[in-house]
Amino acid sequence: MSLFTETLSDGYGQSLSIDELLFEQQTDHQHLIIFRNRFFGRVMALDGIVQTTERDEFIYHEMMVHVPMLAFGAARRVLIIGGGDGGILREVLKHQSVEEVVQVEIDQAVIDLCKTFLPNHSAGAFDDPRVTINIADGMAFVCEADIEPFDVIISDCTDPIGPGEVLFSSEFYQGCKRLLNPNGVFVAQNGVVFMQPEELINTQHRLSPYFTDTRFYGVAVPTYIGGIMALAWGCDDLQISKLDISLLQQRYQASGLNCRYYTPAVHASAFHLPAYVQNLLEP
């Protein structure tokens, strides 16, 4: 039996049995492998790091999408950076208020191969008439695009190595702020705090100059090993990260969503982080 062993952390990692190798390729941008694992189902990894699995993807995609979308309320235009597997796009399109989604993904191969081997991630989302797909570097797009601003921007990128590194830079955050409507919400995946504490510290330092309210909320995703993943939040409205749970409940019920991880209570509590995480952040 061959094993996939993740290479993200030095001296600690995870191994998954490759019960069936489905596809492996060095794309123009990164090494991509998709395989079946008897516990997690189909798994995709990029440059040796697990990106998503059939079994636990709902946790990450629901929390990356429904927290900003239900906090903002009735978002019309949404920008997704990365997200080539289509899970974020699938969840965004569930919101009836959404009129247009622009997705900027650097690697066409990820979209094509995930449509083929992980079809339930996008579940047809790439064919929705509200969607525009740009195959481009997300950094260049947010810095240069001449486009109507967005209500919500979601950066669903790889870790800060390889093509994803630029998506953790000050310039990228400045570009995202440029493309946000007043009081729009920016969220980004930001690594597992216990394993990559420097990512949290760097993001707070680089994001806070552009947003009045820079904070993090947590989610525990089994295959993002090592504890809670911190999702970065940037917004100029200080209140919408602290909405009353009854309002979140009203919006959730009105949305018609039927989530497997997200609840309004989980949304509200996710912004309360453990002391060791708070202690890493500047007051």
Instruction: Tell me which residues are annotated as active site.
Output: 156
- Where does this chain touch ligand SAM (CB under 6 A) — which range of 82-90, 142-150, 210-218, 261-269? 82-90
**Amino acid (1-letter code) at residue 4:** F
- The burial class, CB within 10 Å (0-12 / 13-18 / 19+), for 198 is exposed
- CA distances for 178 relative to 59, 186, 246, 272, angstroms: 29, 11, 32, 28
The answer to whether 187 and 232 have CB atoms below 8 angstroms apart is yes
Q: Which is nearer to ligand SAM, 158 or 264 (CB)?
A: 158
Structure token pair of residue 270? 């996710």
Q: Indicate which single residue of 81, 89, 93, 248 sits in contact with ligand SAM (rule: CB under 6 A).
A: 81
Instruction: Please tell me whether residue 156 binds ligand SAM under the rule CB under 6 A.
Output: yes
Instruction: Please tell me whether residue 164 binds ligand SAM under the rule CB under 6 A.
Output: yes
Q: Indicate which single residue of 166, 225, 247, 257 sits in contact with ligand SAM (rule: CB under 6 A).
A: 166
Q: Which is nearer to ligand SAM, 91 or 105 (CB)?
A: 105
Instruction: Please tell me whether residue 145 binds ligand SAM under the rule CB under 6 A.
Output: no
Q: What CA–CA distance (Å, rounded) separates 184 from 182?
A: 5
As measured in angstroms, the least distance from the Cβ of 260 to ligand SAM is 17
Q: Is 74 left (phi over 0), alpha (psi -120 to 50) or beta?
A: left
Half-sphere exposure of 124 (CA within 13 A, CB side): 3
Structure token pair of residue 90? 């699938």
Q: Which is nearer to ligand SAM, 87 or 264 (CB)?
A: 87
3-state helix, strand, coil in the chain (%, to 5): 35, 30, 35
**Amino acid (1-letter code) at residue 18:** I
Instruction: Please tell me whether residue 176 binds ligand SAM under the rule CB under 6 A.
Output: no
Q: Indicate which single residue of 83, 218, 234, 264 sits in contact with ligand SAM (rule: CB under 6 A).
A: 83
Binding mask 103-142 for ligand SAM (x = CB under 6 A): -xxxx--x--------------------------xxx---
The answer to whether 207 and 175 have CB atoms below 8 angstroms apart is no
- CA distances for 66 relative to 54, 102, 126, angstroms: 19, 17, 19
Instruction: Please tell me whether residue 196 binds ligand SAM under the rule CB under 6 A.
Output: no
Q: What CA–CA distance (Å, rounded) separates 197 from 183?
A: 28
Q: How many residues bind ligand SAM (CB under 6 A)?
A: 24
As measured in angstroms, the least distance from the Cβ of 274 to ligand SAM is 20
Binding mask 29-68 for ligand SAM (x = CB under 6 A): ----------------------xx-------x--------
User: What is the binding site for ligand SAM (CB under 6 A)?
Assistant: 51-52, 60, 81-85, 104-107, 110, 137-139, 156-158, 163-164, 166-167, 189
